[in-house]
Structures are given as C-alpha cells and as structure tokens.
Structure 1
Amino acid sequence: MKDGSAFLNDNAQRIADGMIRDAERLRIAVSNGPLGETLIDAGSRAAGGVEAGLHMAEAAMGGLGSISAVMDRASEKWPFTVEVRSSQPVLACLGSQYAGWNLSGDGYFAMGSGPARALARVEPLYTTLAYRDIASSAVLILETAEPPPQAVVEKVAKATGLAADKLTFLYAPTQSIAGAVQIVSRVLEVALHKANDLKFPLEDIVDGIGAAPIPAPHPDFLTAMGRTNDAIIYGGIAQLFVKGTAQAAEELARNLPSRSSRDYGQPFAEIFKQFKGDFYAIDPLLFSPAEVIVTAIETGDTFRAGGRDAAMLERSLG
C-alpha cells in the first residue's frame, strides 16, 4: 500500500538517476557491480562533496525531505549548517532514512538506510509502521568506503524481491565530506527515533524541522564518527509539530533532548571507547538533538528543552 504522495523508492530512484546524470558536477563515480547493481561512490575513491552528501540524504529520506546547507552566523565557530524539513517526518525519517538494516558479514560492515528498507521490511520497526512500498527498483544508502560485496547484494535482492540489476547503492565513508553531510542530515531522524523509543504515538507527529552544524571531516574513522554524532548530540536542534494534548507535548519536549541520557557529557568518540566499541551498549537515548521544540498544534502551546553545548562542541569539533 502506498500512502498519498509517499512513493519512497520511486522518489529516491529519481534522485539517484539525477545524480548519475550530474556525476561529473557532483564529483561522484558511477559503475555496475558483478550482478548488474548500480554503484554510486559519493566520497570513497571519488571526491564527492557537500552537494553529493545533500543528494544522498534526500535519497535516504525517500524524497520526502527538503535538505539544504546554510550559513548560520549565530552558530559562531560552526556556522556551516545542514537544515532538514519534512511534512511526512515519520515515513521519511523512520520508514526510510533510519540506518536500521544490518548488512554486515564476512569482514564487511555496513548499516543500510533508505527506502529499500521499506520493501524488505526485515526490521522490527516495520511492525509499527503500516506503510508498504511497491516499486520496480530500490535504493539503499551505505555508510562505508567499500561497495557492497556480492553476498550483500544478493541479500538485499532477496529481501526486496527485486533482481540485482534493479538495485542502486549509494555509499560514502564517514570520513568524507559527503558522508559527514548525509550523517548530520539525520538530526530530525534521531528526534523521531527517540520519540518512538519514548512511546510517543508516531501518528501524532505531523511535521518537523531540524538543523545541525556540519563538522570538518577527519581521516580517522573514530574521530570522524565522533564529530558527526556530536554535531547532533551537542549542537543539533529539532522542532516537532504534534497532535494531542499540551501535556503530552510538554512531556515529549522534556525527555527528548540528548542531555536526558545517562551517557551525556563526553565526546562521542570517548564514549565509544569507554564501551569498547560496542555501539549497542551506549544508551540509545543519547542519540537525539541537543535542543528540542515541541508544538502542540491543537492547543497552540510550544515547549522547549535542552540547549546547544558549546563546550562539548569545542572539544569535539574544534
């Protein structure tokens, strides 16, 4: 079942096709894998850049998000900011953009995001989301420096019910400019994901906007990963427009900022080391914007909580 204008894979395919047409301008590399899959290197061996990262993020949201890079002079040392908006935030962020599909194995590590997830529906999250996509092709985004090996392509093809030559994989490592941009573009998504963890009714979230500073890339993976996470955890802001009571909106605002987590207060790279590289041992409530605004549209009330932590940004982003 498709929901209104939400054709996730069709939208993402149009974005990917546009990237292929503009490959030279975007400084990306396009090729075909051994099974006929389309591979778009946006920042590994290809140079890529900010615009390539913005296109990746738009594809990751299934075309249901508007993403731009802006200069925010009020952000002092980190004015270069990504801004994300969606009027279908649950579907765009959780149904598509969330990196929830583990595609690791045989020495290859990657988490898949993008609308191919909505075809495969192999994650528990899809027991909550009623949306089912119908598409003749599928797009998947990978945060990695290497294209997917044949076993991963076969796994995705089987799960989506599509032939491998109908699959498009966009990939870029965290250390690249494009990788950093598309990861920080998840500032709204992490707010939605945490709202779901807090058991807030997803059907009551009707619109959203988020922003976070774009950190400088770094050649060391751990440092780069730390910067992209800290940009959101200590520098991100999101506003959600919700239905329901003012009391429910106020409770969501109070619990949504990252500082409500037990692990708040250190650069993410240090937290990652503290848990010996076990990503899943970190408190999941840490992954949310530093500052949130929740507006109850049925009462007109707005609630604010959290705030940017300049000291932590200084330690991490420099």
Structure 2
Amino acid sequence: MNPDQPSINRLSAPLVDDLVADADRLRLLVHRLDNGCRLIDAGTSAAGGLEAGRRIAEICLGGLGQVGLRTGGAPGGWAIGVEVITTNPVLACLGSQYAGWSLSHGEGKGSFHALGSGPGRSLALKEPLFAELGYRDRAEQTSLVLEVDRIPPEPLVEKIARDCGIEPSGLTLILTPTRTLAGTVQIVARVLEVALHKAHALGFDLAAIRDGMGSAPLPPPAPDFVTAMGRTNDAILFAGQVHLFVTGADDAAEDLAMRLPSSASRDYGRPFAEIFAAYGHDFFKIDPLLFSPARILVTALDSGRTFAAGGIDANLLAASFGLAP
C-alpha cells in the first residue's frame, strides 16, 4: 500500500463492527456461515431501513465519506434527499464504492451473479482500475456490499476470501436488495461515484479532482426489481447534482462540466425502466455515458471560475417515482 494513502479497510472496519453492534435497532440480521464468513442481511429476510442504508453507504465509501439524509428541499420537489461528501473522492468512490468486481458461481437457473462494491475490492485487485489509481490495500479483515436478495453460495464466498488474501472468518458480506429501503439509500448514495466514473470514462485526469460532493432525491422502493432499479437510476439521472473541485486549466474544467450530465447521452429522455425494456433487458446495449447526475458544477481551483451544465427534470422524476397527481 502507498504509505501516503489511507487504508480504506482499516477505516471502514469500525463502521462494520458498529453496524453489527446496532443490528437489532437497525432491523438487520447477522449470522455466520459454516466457513466463518459474517453475513449482514439488510433486506433479504430482515426489514432493514433508511438509517441502515445510510451507514452501509459510508462503509461502501471506505470510511472516507459522510452520507446524510435530509428532509425538505430535495430536487424535483421530493421529500427526502441523500447527500454525499468525501475527503478523498477518487479513492472513496472509485477505489471502494464503485460496484466493479464481477462475482459469479454456477450456470443456468441456479447460478449466482453479483457485483461487489466496498473495501474488499482493494485487496483482490481484480479490476484494471486499481493499476490506474496506483492503489492496493492490505488487511486481515474486509467487507463487500452485494445488491442481491439471496445468500451467496459458500464456494463463491470462499473464493472471495482467497482472492482478498484472507480467511473466510475475516470476510463480511452485506446484502442490500435493490427493492428495499436500505438498498435504495446505498444505491442513490452513489451519485458522486457515477460522476467520477464518467469523468474517468471521458479521459479526465483523476489526479486533478481534489474534492466533491453530491446529492439526489430518495425514491420510493418498488416490489419488483426492474422498477426498483429504474427508480434508483432515475433519481441520479434526472435530479442528481454534483459539484467537483478540480485543478488545471479552465478549458478542461469547462469541457468536463459540459460533457458530464446525463442529458449529454443519446439515451437520455425516458425513465430508465423504459430504456432497459427497449433494449430487450440487455444492460450492455445502453449508452454507458447515460449514467451520470443530471446537473454538474465544476469549479476550477486555479482560477476560481465555476462551470455548470445540465438540469433537473421534475416531470421525468415524477413519472419514474410513481407520484400520484
């Protein structure tokens, strides 16, 4: 590990332990698999809730960010908003929170597939992104967040532990189904992360991003997966707001601001569930540059100038969230 970089596993470990200690009042279920892996259920068999989702989102950020819930004044006239701020946005969001580790076991009807996010990614280093970030962590305990509604098979759990270089007893898996309150919060709390991910995809120098914060309205969960997934995406696409603070030339900051909003994508303009259906439920046919907040501000620290682009679409948000007239 680079000695100048913090250990996201060390910083997040107390947050995981606190989540376990408060499991009863957070309506979570905690148990151990036969191989010793600790499971925190935030919505498969447990009720979970908003506060659980908020705290899980902070674990996803590797202990380098704060996630808050606020009432009143959320974009689009919605009642509740999620706010995210980090002390190290690139490492917190891309090095930890980003759901970049593809996990699978088996084939056919009984197969299991998930994307892992959280501090464990920085131990396994399964993604080329970590070479670009120049970061790896070392720890004997770690955690991953999985947006799934069933327990992963034990052979996969053991493989995750091996890839992280730890014993299964040192691994904590946090399960947050998309259709739940906790799952909804921790997904919408990725509003800053999706902006950084798109900035990376656009070729912007990540080292120039010094700070950032974001917010988005919290949508109501939906009982079916596609609707729930659509609403969490739309919260960011239609009403997410991000402010980045960058070094370097004004031209680069302005270009980033103009290209970052979701409205710059060819697929913008319909609720995500409709887009997903139009592409035959093939996620990979959707324009990857769609996934970004609605409104972007970029401040060039060297000049003090701020560039803004995009905007909130309250009508599309209401259509997605099922808000009665």
TM-score band, normalised by shorter chain: over 0.9
Write the letter of the residue equivalent to 2:151: P
Secondary structure in 2 matching 1:140: strand
Equivalent position to 1:142, from 141, 146, 155: 146
- Match of 1:217? 221
Q: Give the match's secondary structure for 1:81.
A: strand
Q: Secondary structure at the match of 2:152?
A: coil
Kindly, what percent of the aligned residue pairs are identical? 52
With structure 2 as the length reference, what TM-score do the two structures score? Answer: 0.96
Superposed counterparts of 1:1-318, under 5 Å: 1-4=1-4, 6-73=6-73, 75=75, 77-106=77-106, 107-317=111-321, 318=323
Per-residue deviation, 1:2:
4.0
CA distance in 2, matches of 1:236, 1:245: 26
Q: RMSD of the TM alignment (CA)?
A: 1.1
Distance 2:313 2:93 in 1: 25
Following superposition, the deviation at residue 215 of structure 1 comes to 0.4
Report the AA paired with residue 211 of structure 1: S
CA drift of 1:108 comes to: 1.0
Gaps of 5+ in 2: none
1:130–1:5 CA distance, 2 compared to 1 (3 A) = closer
The CA distance in 1 between the partners of 2:3 and 2:276, in whole Å, is: 38
Per-residue deviation, 1:3:
4.8
CA separation in 1, counterparts of 2:92 and 2:50?
A: 21
CA distance in 1, matches of 2:5, 2:304: 27
Return the offset for 1:125.
1.3
Note if contact 1:84-1:210 (Cα within 8 Å) is conserved in structure 2.
yes
Q: Which shifted more, 266-275 or 194-203?
A: 266-275
SS for the counterpart of 2:113 is coil
**d(CA) in 2 for partners of 1:224, 1:88:** 30
Q: Distance in 1 between matches of 2:133 and 2:150?
A: 31
Q: Distance in 1 between matches of 2:75 and 2:213?
A: 17
For the residue of structure 1 that corresponds to 2:139, the secondary structure is: coil
Alpha-carbon distance in structure 2 between the residues aligned to 1:218 and 1:54:
18
Report the 3-state secondary structure (helix = DSSP H, G, I; strand = E; otherwise coil) of the residue aligned with 1:311.
helix
* Residues 48-104 of structure 1: per-residue CA shift (max 9 Å, x gap): 100000111000110101100012326353120000001200000000000011112
The answer for unaligned runs of 5 or more in structure 1 is none
The Cα shift of 1:296 comes to: 0.5
Distance in 1, matches of 2:269 and 2:194, equals 18
- SS of 1:234 mapped into structure 2: helix
Paired amino acid for 1:135: A
> What is the TM-score with the length of structure 1 in the denominator?
0.98
Describe the shift of the 1:62–1:165 C-alpha distance in structure 2 as closer, same or farther (beyond 3 A): same
Q: Are 1:3 and 1:131, in contact at CA under 8 Å, matched by a contact in 2?
A: no
